[in-house]
Amino acid sequence: MLKIMEIIGLIILRLLSTVIALVVLAGLLYRRWRNGKDYFAVKPRPTPPSLISDEKWGTHKYMHLKKQGIRLHYVEKGNSNNPLILCLHGFPECWFSWRHQLENLSDKYWVVAVDMRGYADSDKPSAKSAYDITLLVEDIKEFILALGKSDQDKCVVMAHDWGGAIAWQLVMKYPELFHSHISCNGPHPVAFMKVMRKSWKQALMSWYMVFFQTPYIPELSISVNDLEMFNKSFRGEHNKEAFPDDVMEVYKYYFSQKGALTPPINYYRNIDFGRGTENIPVVTVPTLIIWGSKDAYLSKEMAILAGAECETSVVKYIDSATHWVQQDEPQQVNRFIREYLASKSL
């Protein structure tokens, strides 16, 4: 009976994603008709913006992961003899999302912001299956060990959005590697499913996850009008101060490159919507949850529910911040991080 219900659920998901995709496509074609043929054009950006190479963010490096067979790009700042804070970004982002933490926290910590596989200057395998979460978790485990950290020299993992989803899996599967865990608007699997099952509002907020199950159209919808989605998503209606034009150009540069859109969307295409939450262990790594209350994609209730899945947790809301909390309110986020790690004697 359970297998039959899973099949029915999968069929409903496919039908719903197809309906959403057709509605989106109709809207795109209408706007193409209204705006002209350039509506689907993305401006060529062959040269990286100068902001990417600004030394205040740190040093650009690459790491080849032998077991995983992939090369990851990362930016590091600080003394490598200091405690490691490893930063994992979300969608649609890159290492640059942690620029404020690289600059501010590197006086006391070795801060490393990595481009996840499929993003920015990291390798981009072509197969959809290459973005299964089990592979993403193993990427980061091997990356940590390759940096020279082990269970004798534990690190801090700090993550946001999709990086947050991966970090929750990391601290559950490999707790021995981590001194602390900092989650910035990152969905814990149990908390996410609890809210989804009882909240139509969250279901509507998560519509894009269903939409992203379809081929081609999600990529097209993101690319239209020279990647205008980035402005709408990051800035919203009132957030231009945190995301000025030069910052937006960094994201648009990375995502305007050939083949840059499909790998990040493949993270969503590998979501197992039928996965249960019964066997998910309690998080034993001490956890700080920082949550922007104005998140348009994830309910603020998820923060408290995620904390309940941890043996030890602290939840900090920032009412003025959106989903992009560490970029919206970097000073407040950095203060929370310093205070929390100091309380843990790191």
Q: Both tokens of residue 14?
A: 């496919």
Q: From the candidates 179, 323, 328, 340, which is the catalytic residue? A: 323
Catalytic residue status for 39:
no
Torsions phi, psi for 214 (to 5 deg): -85, 155
Q: Whose structure tokens read 């030394």?
A: 55
Q: Both tokens of residue 36?
A: 């002209």
3-state DSSP assignment of residue 310: strand
Catalytic residue status for 323:
yes
Catalytic residue status for 30:
no
Q: From the candidates 115, 121, 123, 161, which is the catalytic residue? A: 161
pLDDT of residue 150: 66
Residues 198-204: contacts with CB within 8 Å, 24+ apart?
Answer: 199/299, 199/301, 201/299, 202/298, 202/299
Question: What CA–CA distance (Å, rounded) separates 31 from 41?
Answer: 13
Strand 178-184, strand 287-292: pairing: parallel
Q: Both tokens of residue 337?
A: 């991080």
Residues in the chain: 346
3-state DSSP assignment of residue 98: helix
- Separation in Å, CA 289 to CA 31, 154, 259, 298, 336: 40, 19, 34, 14, 10
Overall pTM surpassing 0.85 (yes/no): yes
Q: Both tokens of residue 119?
A: 């993003």
Q: From the candidates 39, 132, 226, 268, which is the catalytic residue? A: 268
CATH 3.40.50.1820 given to domain 58-194+271-343: yes
pLDDT of residue 333: 98
Paired strand residues for 84: 110
State the amino acid at position 117 in one-letter form. Answer: R
Please state whether 74 falls in left (phi above 0), alpha (psi between -120 and 50) or beta.
Answer: beta
Q: At what angle do helices 262-269 and 217-230 cross, to 10 degrees?
A: 120
Q: Where are the domains of the chain?
A: 58-194+271-343
Question: What CA–CA distance (Å, rounded) separates 10 from 12?
Answer: 5
Cβ–Cβ < 8 Å for 155, 85: yes
pLDDT of residue 240: 85
Question: What CA–CA distance (Å, rounded) separates 86 from 92?
Answer: 18
Mean pLDDT by 10 residues, the chain (346 residues): 67 90 96 93 96 97 98 98 97 98 98 98 97 98 90 89 98 96 97 92 94 97 96 85 95 97 98 81 98 96 97 97 97 98 89
Radius of gyration, CA atoms only, the chain: 20
pLDDT of residue 10: 77
